Structure 1
Amino acid sequence: MTQRIGIQRRVLLAAALTASALALPGCARYYYGAAASSDPVDLMASNHGAADALLLQVPLDPDTPVLVGTVVQLDRLDESSRLGRLVAEQLAGRLVQRGLRVTELRMRETLAMRPGQGELLLSRHAQEVARAQAAQAVLVGTYAVAPQAVYVSLKLVGAGNAVLAAHDYALPMDANVRGLLAGR
């Protein structure tokens, strides 16, 4: 009798494992295959959510400006793409929607712009720029491209190059994101 119960348990366990294994390929296709890439990434929602997450971490004075630099490639800090510039534009727009003053860097003569790159601010230059522009903080960021996603890291940098807030998020790779990365 004990041997019969042991055999039944093994059969049930084998059936459960088989059912699980059969279900996994469907899940993998849903998350990583064609179904995952069929819905375009909502870049605005992702970037607005990132700005909101930064603002939850630190109180900022609505009367003192914030600067937003172009989000740059992690491995090439002096280069960006249309994606990096679009992310910066959407972050700046969200800060304004939340009641902050954002100084438009392209309107300032004191910052040099590189054609096709945008306003490149590295955190090591953030304090100098913030002081020159009388800003309370500078929003800087990097992105890294991987096969399935673009990973974005943002920092609000204040006086003394102190990181006031930080947020990381991923943008799943789809045709829109790929196209923005390819464009200069």
Structure 2
Amino acid sequence: MKRRHAMALMGLACAGVLAGCAQYYYGPSAAAPVAQDLLALSRDAADALLAQVVLDPAQPVIVSTVVQLDRLDASSRLGRLVSEQVGGRFVQRGLRVTELRMRDSLALRPGQGELLLSRQVLEVARAQAAQAVLVGTYATAPQAVFVSLKLVGMGNAVLAAHDYVLPMDGNVRGLLAAGL
């Protein structure tokens, strides 16, 4: 009986050690990334920006396309989707968001969205009588996408800023690759 008990304990100990070794050897990098709720992350980012500044609901806010950090004249489906989702959250929170695609006064690049470089922000905000413009960049890394968003006011003053990380899962990789 004691021998059977001792053998069972040894078996459990070996199984525990092997499981520990397997986790160490295969580790988190071999596991499939957990799918992220991009919509929830975008809404959280919008809420974080709005928590930093008081905006007048009667005055418009312009949302430009989030662009690649190293190519400010280029974006992707991911950048355009983040912009759409953050702009949508602004509307849900009671702000007036001006739809740039409906304006003749702003040139748009097909497939790129509303790309605003820093020198254009003040000019576009004045032309649209906007109190703020959402601008943003993203940078890709092998396992994550780093997103930086800013609300910029008149005089190019940064009114609010928020940074966050999107783990590189299948959805994010697909949005980066498709429709460039």
TM-score by length of 2: 0.84
Q: Matches of 2:44 and 2:99 in 1, distance apart?
A: 21
Q: Which residue of 2 aligns with 1:62?
A: 57
Q: Matches of 2:160 and 2:45 in 1, distance apart?
A: 11
Kindly report which structure 2 residues correspond to 1:17-96, keeping only aligned pairs within 5 A, or say none.
Answer: 25-26=23-24, 29-30=27-28, 32-35=29-32, 37=33, 39-96=34-91
Q: Is the 8 A contact 1:61 1:100 kept in 2?
A: yes
Q: CA deviation at 1:49?
A: 0.3
Letter in 1 for 2:41: S
Q: Is the 8 A contact 1:51 1:95 kept in 2?
A: yes
SS in 1 for 2:165: strand
Aligned length: 161
Q: Matches of 2:31 and 2:168 in 1, distance apart?
A: 12
Q: Matches of 1:68 and 1:24 in 2, distance apart?
A: 47
Q: CA deviation at 1:183?
A: 1.2
Letter in 1 for 2:31: A
Could you tell me the percent identity over the aligned residues? 72
Q: Is the 8 A contact 1:123 1:157 kept in 2?
A: no
Q: Do the aligned partners of residues 132 and 148 (structure 1) sit closer, same or farther apart at CA in structure 2, a change above 3 Å counting?
A: same
Q: Which residue of 1 aligns with 2:119?
A: 124
SS in 2 for 1:57: coil
Q: Do the aligned partners of residues 25 and 68 (structure 1) sit closer, same or farther apart at CA in structure 2, a change above 3 Å counting?
A: same
CA shift digits 1:43-84 (9 cap, x unpaired): 000010000000000000000000000000000000000000
Q: Do the aligned partners of residues 94 and 155 (structure 1) sit closer, same or farther apart at CA in structure 2, a change above 3 Å counting?
A: same
Q: Which residue of 1 aligns with 2:8?
A: none
SS in 1 for 2:36: coil
Runs (4+) off by over 4 Å: 22-28
Structure 1: gaps of 5 or more residues = 1-18
Q: Matches of 1:65 and 1:26 in 2, distance apart?
A: 53
Structure 2: gaps of 5 or more residues = 1-16
1:180 aligns with 2:175: yes
Q: Which residue of 2 aligns with 1:144?
A: 139
CA shift digits 1:78-113 (9 cap, x unpaired): 000000000000000000000000000100111111
TM-score by length of 1: 0.83
Letter in 2 for 1:55: L
In proportion to residue count, which structure has more helix? 1
Q: CA deviation at 1:28?
A: 8.2
Q: Do the aligned partners of residues 29 and 157 (structure 1) sit closer, same or farther apart at CA in structure 2, a change above 3 Å counting?
A: same
Q: Do the aligned partners of residues 109 and 98 (structure 1) sit closer, same or farther apart at CA in structure 2, a change above 3 Å counting?
A: same
Q: Matches of 2:172 and 2:85 in 1, distance apart?
A: 14
Q: Matches of 1:27 and 1:107 in 2, distance apart?
A: 54
Letter in 2 for 1:33: A
